Amino acid sequence: MEPTPLEPLPEDWERALCVVAHPDDLEFGAAAAIARWTGQGKHIVYCMVTSGEAGIDGIAPEECRPLREAEQIESARLVGVDEVEFLGFTDGIVEYGVPLRAAIAQVVRRHRPEIVITGNFRDTFGGRNLNQADHIAVGRAVLDAVRDAGNRWIFHDQLVDGLEPWGGVQAVWAANSPGAEHGVDTTDTFDAGVASLAAHAAYIEGLGWEGWDPEEFLEGFARPTGQRLGVAKAAPFEVFPMGWGD
């Protein structure tokens, strides 16, 4: 059976906020799309819920935290993103709940994006391998926090020093979701996405994947996705509209 064609994502927006659980989450597929958008002059901010400090078995969290933050900042720079925030939640045990929603809502209110991008938060990536718990918690919280951010009476203690509610998010886009029905042409920015992933050198080394190649890995996803979009390479996204009746 032929794979379902993808629809191109709209690009008539100027500001986006990316909220994911860990450094490296965006680089496993979405970074090439972000490079495309920053190349169009769009302003994009990264927000990491954790610092990925539990991600390298051979390095203790207190030593790993600044290393992974530095790699993420450099990785973002390579795709045109110069603002990266870390919320400081504990890696590996992020829980969906009010504190997480509040923290993300505050970031949304400060940056006032039109689009919010997160990672796949479905139970799997389309097969039997289970998704990681932090990814699921953060993605669910992003959906709710975006709506919270527009309600003056939710987390109203945040509304000080000129901070106001923000209900201007048009949609949340979840990268690499098995439910993706949209895609982004990354043919011209694929190499930037590879460089962005390769910048997580300590993390990749810590995974212990002998002979693993970032370009080969990303190409294995980008080419089949590109076929569904009618281009050479692409990144898939599931769209969650934030309006009523969509």
User: What percent of the chain has a predicted confidence (pLDDT) above 90?
Assistant: 94
CA distances from 180 to 20, 86, 118, 225 (A): 17, 27, 13, 10
Q: What mean pLDDT is predicted for residues 112-138?
A: 97
Residue 1 has pLDDT above 80, yes or no: no
Confidence of residue 3 (pLDDT cuts 50, 70, 90): confident
Asked if residue 87 lies in contact with residue 130, where contact means CB atoms within 8 angstroms, the answer is: no
pTM of the model: 0.97
170-227 confidence digits (pLDDT tens): 999 999 999 999 999 999 999 999 999 999 999 999 999 888 999 999 999 999 999 9
Residue 246 has pLDDT above 60, yes or no: no
- Residue 245's pLDDT is 55
CA distances from 185 to 220, 229, 230, 238 (A): 15, 8, 9, 15
* Longest alpha-carbon distance in the chain: 56
Residue 244 has pLDDT above 70, yes or no: no
Residue 41 has pLDDT above 80, yes or no: yes
